[in-house]
Amino acid sequence: MTRLVELEANGPRKLEPSDIDDEKGDVAVCQCGLSAELPFCDGSHRATSDEEEGTTYVYDDDGERSVVDRIVTHRDRVDDGHE
């Protein structure tokens, strides 16, 4: 299965103290979708720091970035009345 993830976040969200496992200590959940340690942040979000607003990117398994045209999803088609 191939999954294309479209996200706007470019950094982690720190968990609240009640979310933190006492044995693991401080952890952050990945919101950029690039972590190799999902759901946890592994620092891969640094590659997104120069992304431009309004541009859609795809990262391959080697971390190489490509710019793609806007992706039309099934949901977009339903919202436009084109199901």
Q: Please give the residue ranges that form the binding site for ligand FES (CB under 6 A).
A: 11-12, 30-32, 34-35, 41-45
- What is the nearest approach in angstroms of ligand FES to the Cβ of residue 9? 7
CA distances in angstroms from 18 to 12, 23, 29, 41, listed in the order given: 17, 13, 14, 18
- What is the nearest approach in angstroms of ligand FES to the Cβ of residue 77? 29
Considering the complex, state which of residue 6 and residue 79 has its C-beta at the smaller distance from ligand FES. 6
CA dist 34 and 81 (Å) reads 33
CA dist 55 and 48 (Å) reads 12
Considering the complex, state which of residue 38 and residue 72 has its C-beta at the smaller distance from ligand FES. 38
- What is the nearest approach in angstroms of ligand FES to the Cβ of residue 63? 11
CA dist 57 and 10 (Å) reads 12
